[in-house]
């Protein structure tokens, strides 16, 4: 399937909705065709080469800080109109947002995402995606952009699904992981090679005062 003709109504949407309803997370392989994954990976690498990615911080507001002992990735947020590949991805994810609202009544209002590049040796310690003082992030997504990933390359996403239950997901190109932001702790294990992804969040209206 050509990269830019992926249908907006994604054929895996119903499976994602069902998975989130039943267990709070979903893993879909080949969510994107190889051509689009490659175009997105090339975009991420171009931004990195041009110095557009910045060390990722943790926390919010005045408490925000870069702490490499906690996370070591470099990021840049996506904005509409930057590249055709990014616009196509954002359009597909907006369609998924509508499907999640129809199936789960989540009231998701928007989607934010950024490129994330982990250099060799980088990791991200265990955490939840929902901030303590901001409950808008409702559903997290991670799309992987790494071709020919091997078991020894590391960089797995580890989902903590119960007291003794963990799931490690290899960051293989075109695959997508979706999970409830406030309910699934997770971490990124140390990577042995450069690791690329698009990390995003579907957000609902917050409970902050108006």
The per-residue pLDDT for range 108-162, each reduced to its tens digit, is 999 999 999 999 999 999 999 987 767 899 999 999 999 999 989 999 999 999 8
Q: Residue 208 pLDDT > 70, yes or no?
A: no
Architecture of the domain defined by 12-59+66-204: Sandwich (2.60)
Span 153-189, pLDDT tens digits: 999 999 999 888 999 999 999 999 999 999 999 999 9
State residue 61's pLDDT score: 57
The torsion defined by the Cα of 22, 25, 31 and 37, in degrees rounded to 10, comes to 170
Q: What is the pLDDT of residue 4?
A: 47
The average pLDDT across 51-70 equals 70
Give the pLDDT score at 6.
Answer: 55
pLDDT tens profile 6-37: 555 678 999 999 999 999 999 999 999 999 99
Q: Tell whether the model's pLDDT for residue 3 goes beyond 50.
A: no
Q: Please name which of 116, 196, 200, 187 lies closest in space to residue 153, comparing C-alpha atoms.
A: 196
Beta-sheet strands, E only, within the chain:
25-28, 54-55, 74-77, 108-118, 124-127, 137-144, 157-160, 166-169, 176-180, 186-188, 195-204
The confidence score (pLDDT) of residue 174 equals 94
The owner of tokens 């709070």 is 24
């Amino acid at each position: 399937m050509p990269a830019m003709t992926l249908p907006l109504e994604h054929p895996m949407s119903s499976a994602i909705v069902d998975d989130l309803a039943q267990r709070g997370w979903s893993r879909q392989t080949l969510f994107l065709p190889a051509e689009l994954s490659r175009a997105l990976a090339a975009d991420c690498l171009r931004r990195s080469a041009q110095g557009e990615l910045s060390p990722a911080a943790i926390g919010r507001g005045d408490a925000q800080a870069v702490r490499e002992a906690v996370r070591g990735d470099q990021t840049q947020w996506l904005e509409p109109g930057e590249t055709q590949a990014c616009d196509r991805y954002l359009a597909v994810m907006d369609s998924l947002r509508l499907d999640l609202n129809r199936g789960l009544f989540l009231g998701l209002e928007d989607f934010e995402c950024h490129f994330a590049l982990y250099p060799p040796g980088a990791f991200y310690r265990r955490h939840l995606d929902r901030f303590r003082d901001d409950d808008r992030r409702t559903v997290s997504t991670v799309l992987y952009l790494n071709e020919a990933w091997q078991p020894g390359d590391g960089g797995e996403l580890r989902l903590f699904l119960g007291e003794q239950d963990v799931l490690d997901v290899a960051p293989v190109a075109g695959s997508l992981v979706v999970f409830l932001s406030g309910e699934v702790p997770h971490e990124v294990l140390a990577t042995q090679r450069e690791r690329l992804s698009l990390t995003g969040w579907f957000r609902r209206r917050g409970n902050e005062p108006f």
